[in-house]
Amino acid sequence: MTGPWFEQGQSGRIRLHVMPTKRFKTYQFTLYAGVPLSDADVTRTALLPFVLRRGTAATPETRAFRERLDDLYGAGFGFDVMKRGDSHVIVFQLEVLQDRFARGAGESLLAAGMRLLGEVVTQPALENGAFLPNYVDTEKTTVRKRLEAIVNDKIRYAAERCIEEMCAGEAYRLNALGKIEDLPRLTPETLHAYYAEWLKRASFDLYVTGDTTLDEASALAAESFRLPDGAPGTYPKPADCGSAGEVKTVVERMDVTQGKLNMGLRIGVRYADDDYPAALMYNGILGAFPHSKLFINVRERASLAYYAASRYDGHKGILTIQSGIEIANFERASAIIREQLDAMARGDISELELSQTRAMITGQLRELRDSAPEMIAFHFNGVLSGRSRDADELIRQIEAVTRDDIVRVAERVKLDMIYFLRDGKEE
């Protein structure tokens, strides 16, 4: 898989993607490490980056690790843990000033940054052959609090619960942060044992942007990352989510004053499919933007929702609708949302909706070139899906999408789940 921005290489088990450029003042390092989503591993995988970020073998104290970042001219370090399709992906990011702006710094900042990232991932701080107990205990608390915070954020909670119910029995139902009930069982020893296993089977993709070359970055990666031998891994094709049966309805009662009406739909089009540009247009016209049908018809004209929007997951091939409504408006809001789905299938799409949506999507794609992290994330979609896309080509495809193309996608969309979070009062 090649792309217009990145040169491709390999360093042991790492797929290397390097963009030699002087456009930016910093080197951007992004490492993706993915394994299949699974019940048994989801919490262990989620906890790993929280523990790994605390320190390395060379700088085991968290304060010393942060001072090391400061010594690299205030390097920025962060991480994320996410699910993409049926993959559970840890992301480490490091941003370091480019060498040409730090004359007299001594060692190359490119080399120092690569070494630091390699230490974080493959040479963590240990005690008696296991992770440091206080780091594990502290970070278990951090993960638990983040999971508990989802319940307090009712918009996010409803979105998570809709997916959980829609994809019951599927790995995709799992939260990327894992499960609270798993945390007490994780110890420094068991987590480190899993870490050793994770190093052997994770798929690693390392991105480097800045004033460098593929050969230079490859040599530095080989020195910095101490991974088990083997070939780079691959990402699994996601399983189909949901069933072809009747629409499922789940009503959950909590202490809320505003209802959360969410719907889950199977769109059956993924990032690698030829109809992906049409699916982007479908989602844009339906609910992704302020001019979309859900916003205009459910929120503005009918005044039934505080918010109404849709989100398309191109890696899984599903679409979700989120809305906040007065609890008494459940039936009316559900009916009007369904009317918008029917309108899409009939091709009831105006030229203004088409032109505004094209402009929004192509504008977002053109803005990618202004941000190294955005270019990296876009390119990784191709690695994850097995089909590399050129941003300029995707823009041309978006501009060529017709109303008939969108209707063809709309005819594949099947409503699978209606989830309603409401108060505990009896009707």
Residues of the chain with pLDDT below 50 are 1-3
Between CA 295 and CA 304, with CA 300 as vertex, the angle to 5 degrees is 90
3-33 pLDDT tens trace: 468 999 999 999 999 999 999 999 999 999 9
90-107 pLDDT tens trace: 999 999 999 988 876 678
Instruction: Just give the CATH number of 7-224.
Output: 3.30.830.10
Task: State the greatest distance between any 2 C-alpha atoms of the chain, in Å, as a whole number.
Answer: 73
**Amino acid making up residue 134:** N
Tokens of 35: 């394994």
DSSP 258: S
Model pLDDT, residue 427? 59
What's the order of all strands across the beta sheet hosting 7-11?
7-11, 14-20, 203-210, 26-36, 87-97, 76-84
**Amino acid making up residue 413:** V
Distances (CA, A) of 294 to 106, 284, 329: 57, 10, 15
Tokens of 334: 């559900």
7-224 and 248-422 agree in CATH topology: yes
Residues in Cβ contact with 225 at an 8 Å cutoff, skipping those fewer than 6 apart: 11, 12, 14, 118, 121, 122, 204, 206
- Residues pairing with 82 in the sheet: 89
Model pLDDT, residue 236? 83
Tokens of 314: 């191109």
CA pair distance 383, 385, nearest whole angstrom: 6
Could you name the CATH architecture of 248-422?
2-Layer Sandwich (3.30)
Model pLDDT, residue 1? 35
Model pLDDT, residue 34? 97
Q: Nearest CA to 312 among 325, 296, 327, 294?
A: 294
How many beta carbons lie within 10 A of that of residue 211, not counting itself? 17
- Residues pairing with 81 in the sheet: 90
The residue extents of the domains of the chain are: 7-224, 248-422
How many beta carbons lie within 10 A of that of residue 194, not counting itself? 18
Q: Nearest CA to 32 among 174, 207, 228, 196?
A: 207
CA pair distance 343, 287, nearest whole angstrom: 13
Model pLDDT, residue 106? 72
Model pLDDT, residue 244? 54
Model pLDDT, residue 28? 98
How many beta carbons lie within 10 A of that of residue 422, not counting itself? 20
CA pair distance 100, 111, nearest whole angstrom: 13
Residues in Cβ contact with 149 at an 8 Å cutoff, skipping those fewer than 6 apart: none
